[in-house]
Amino acid sequence: MRGVANADLRMTTLCQEYVCEWVDIANPDLDGATVFSSATGSNVSMSGPFLQAWANGAATFGANEGCWVANGVVYFTDKQVSTSAPGARAGRIWALHLASMTLKAIFVSNSLQVGNSPDNICISPRGGLMFCEDGGTSGPGNVPAITSQHLKVLHPNGSSYVFAKHNFNFTSAQLTAVGKSGSLAGDRRNTEWAGCVFSPDGRVLFVNLYTPGITLAITGPWERGTL
């Protein structure tokens, strides 16, 4: 963050904005190391590029993973679920506007019910944002009990709604019949959605189920929703 060295952005609030600037990474191939982190109060493993960025004042997030670039905006997720310091959190989605270098928190979850570790994301051809949950049953807001992971869609106001839920619960015989390992049989509804993307014409949404490793194709009509 401009003017703030090593800003901790793990507990940001919805719509909070920051002005950013890039820091140089002199050696992108530098090996990582385990160092003491004042942000976590423990030893953590850091990549070589992050160590250099941190030394130059770069900000820290919880656990970045999904990323999508559209219309001059870089969208990315912080999928960290935690009840420890600096506070209970279940994921964030950020939007970095490249023209102004303004970073904005467009989705904030402090409860598994709102968003359970947003992982992969995509922007539809119509401008809607979808995210894949990759959480579990442990974390803030785990009542009622979490029984499945979801595909969720972000409303422009920062709220979210369930688009689809993971309902994989097949027998060994069913899996063998379609060429999948029978060892994956059983209730896998609480495993992750592992990616989502629209076809170039915007008519088909392709999504992956990490377990048992299959891709689904979902058609619209998309004009009836926010995607």
pLDDT along the chain (227 residues), means of 10: 90 95 93 81 87 91 94 96 92 97 97 95 94 93 92 92 91 84 85 94 93 88 85
Return d(Cα 77, Cα 95) in angstroms, integer: 9
pTM: 0.91
**CATH, domain range 17-21+59-224:** 2.120.10.30
Burial class (CB in 10 A: 0-12, 13-18, 19+), 93: buried
User: CA 137: distance to chain centroid?
Assistant: 16
Provide the residue ranges of all domains of the chain, joining segments of one domain with +.
17-21+59-224
DSSP 89: B
Pick the closest to residue 112 from 85, 84, 143, 87 (CA basis): 143
Return d(Cα 133, Cα 151) in angstroms, integer: 6
pLDDT recorded at residue 40: 67
